[in-house]
Chains A and B, each alone.
Chain A
């Protein structure tokens, strides 16, 4: 196998080069090879090599093979001047490069480019003809908005970058190309606004990506885990989004966006915890409504994590804190129930997780049937069998609904995972257990950093000015001039532009 570190220089013998290439790629049926005889006498040979499917066959014929044949048909081509004729023939192509080593040639071939090898020439001429199968730009299903743009990234890096450029028309938008993967090198693009990005963060992102030693990179989520600050990631510190408008907004704030070839998801860094509770349409709607909705999301996050635990603690240890009428109703509902509240909650939560996991994989046509079975199993059979009480179904139902109210899917992950230990703590130590568990969670979150920046900024450490656009409040635009970076003409998202100027290495 050819490797960056064991690379070979191309020879001047065409057959030797073809053998070399074939030994690396293998005798694969999708490898297109066309041997051409150049010149009026056909004395010089060349070979056009491409991979079917990855390259555009029509483009290869029209813009590579035909021009070469046309240009050299009546020309006195020799081994000495063949290269000049070939380059001249390809001058109409937009992207033509030359490579002297085997490794980059193979890489370009695997990305859909067409390689032209000429006898007597110790290098390859590579024409960009890549046209891999591509999905149309569509609305991201997991990040739907009520109002706002409907487009989402697709698996093509070029398209994704174009979608960002469409929104960020600043001249200093930079796109850097990196490669990750030893066995299967994958293109990674870094997008940032040169005038706004924190150079330390940019360098940090760049270095973490460059330092990766992995065989392959299939998705942005994989990259996010590799470059995350956390060794044991529980709370997301890197935001993954399929929305170009969210990505563009992040870039305008001074964040770095990372795109991976073959993945429809962009990675944004650095982030605070609150970024995961915000939605792009927060800036397209009434600020007071959004302030209210942000509170709703925060409450939803807390409900998703704590509601079952609080119910267990209340019914098991602290009945006095429940209003009398409600306490009597709960007691009546629990009469005849076989298990203590903590076991009830665990059974229902596990059942819900099973249904959720199954729902993702069940073919759509039988999905409805399974939903009905799920509802019957949860809603009726378990109650009728005395396994759970009706009020517990309400609690778990509210928890489930609350977990879907969090705008970014990844932000709901900790609530799903932490709900279980909190339930056990509540079932064993009541409110004391919940407070201890929550204390540990808050301490963990407070200690987190995203590329050197405190995860709970601007709440802890407290930055009053940045609270104008925070998880608790979205200021009307008339107040925006009070934020630190008042000169930013785009208006929204100027809120945390001060971040890039602050160094967090010691604070």
Chain B
């Protein structure tokens, strides 16, 4: 068995730093649907403080992943993991990452289907999931370059849409809904920062996308250059995700109050329903769907891409494309069996999944980083 596969980056696939930023900016998409509910359940009126603090968690995650990825400036995650922990353990770790990525695709797909079901209640959920997976697979096969460019286009549209949402809902925000805060102390607030932590840990993607950004000129200080580049890209990308998430959180609390938001099925939808522009422009939740769906599809495609790339590496084959459709097919039953309905899904992604996500995307890379630094120190000492 070959444990270290050939390089997985065809030369024609290159991304710009701006495109990587845009892809990371798309990561706001799935969590804005389910994360706020749990935050309001735990922290109640202090949820907005948890939202602010989650930005700090995000910045920490960006640092860990960027430091780790920049140590191997031209290699992706499945390529450098065996270099840190050895080929056999590396293979197992990569398999763990692969499983995680497949489930990330499954959760996004299921989330799409649950949201679409709100406007198409009679359509079988399996059909909705299959359609989004097939679409995602077809687009993923076009390569990360296409995903980066699509994210660039969509980010502008999404930011405009959010700006419109803020303007439209600002008159409905009531400041008393933000008080009192820190009633239960800091613990519930800190506890409430864990669900968004899984959102910001999507910075994992940087270890796949950053090596696609050409280093010009091919300098000797590639590690430092890549680190600076990664921090900039990661901070801005995750910053955009955080901003959009925080805006939604604040709007939901300001318009509906913390208690009411905790009881809503999909707060973002309820916010869109509350928009009323001169009687003519009302009930815009369908428009929100049109705005949100491309973002979550880009997120799905990106995770499908990294899953295929990891599988390609594990199978020691030069191209990831052949694995995209089979992986999408495998994801369908996973997405189907995740939960029986929306409340159960929300419980899952705000509960067990957060722990798994933090374990795989924060603690594991932290461990890898420490191992790498220790090994570096030891080898330099001898």
Chain A residues near B (Cβ < 8 Å) = 317-318, 320-321, 323, 429-432, 434-436, 439-440, 442-444, 446-447, 454, 456, 459-462, 505-507
Contacts and interface: CB of A to CB of B under 8 A. Distances in A.
Contacts of B132: 436
B139 A440 contact: yes
Contacts of B293: 432, 435-436, 439
23 contacts: A320-B283, A321-B284, A321-B286, A323-B280, A429-B128, A429-B131, A432-B116, A432-B131, A435-B294, A439-B135, A440-B135, A440-B138, A442-B294, A443-B139, A444-B142, A446-B149, A454-B149, A456-B149, A459-B153, A460-B150, A461-B18, A506-B14, A507-B16
B120 interface: yes
Contacts of A440: 135, 138-139
Given A435-B294, A506-B12, A506-B214, A430 B18 contact: no
Nearest to B151: A460
B297 A439 contact: yes
B177 interface: no
A507 B149 contact: no
Nearest to B131: A436
Contacts of A318: 119, 286
Contacts of A444: 142
A290 B14 CA distance: 35
Given A317-B120, A321-B284, A431 B289 contact: yes
Contacts of A446: 142, 146, 149-150, 153
Nearest to A436: B135
Main DSSP-derived SS at the A contact region: helix
B11 interface: yes
A429 B146 contact: no
A442 to B, nearest CB: 6
Contacts of B153: 442, 446, 456, 459-460
Contact of B214 (A432, A461, A507): A507
A461 B289 contact: no
A461 B152 contact: yes
Given A429-B120, A429-B123, A439-B139, 4 more contacts: A431-B290, A436-B135, A456-B153, A506-B12
B259 interface: no
A321 B116 contact: no
Nearest to A442: B150
Contact of A430 (B14, B119, B139, B297): B119
A429 B113 CA distance: 12
Nearest to A455: B149
Contacts of B214: 506-507
- 3 closest A-B pairs by CB: A460-B149, A443-B139, A435-B293
Interface in B139-176: 139, 142-143, 145-146, 148-150, 152-153
A440 B298 CA distance: 11
A462 B152 contact: yes
Contacts of B131: 429, 432, 436
Contact of B149 (A317, A436, A461): A461
Nearest to B289: A431
Contacts of A443: 138-139, 142, 146, 150
Interface in B278-308: 279-280, 282-287, 289-290, 293-294, 297
B18 A462 contact: yes
B114 interface: no
B76 to A, nearest CB: 17
A439 B286 CA distance: 16
Contacts of B289: 431-432, 435
B233 to A, nearest CB: 15
Contacts of B19: 461
B373 to A, nearest CB: 32
Contacts of B290: 431, 434-435
B301 to A, nearest CB: 9
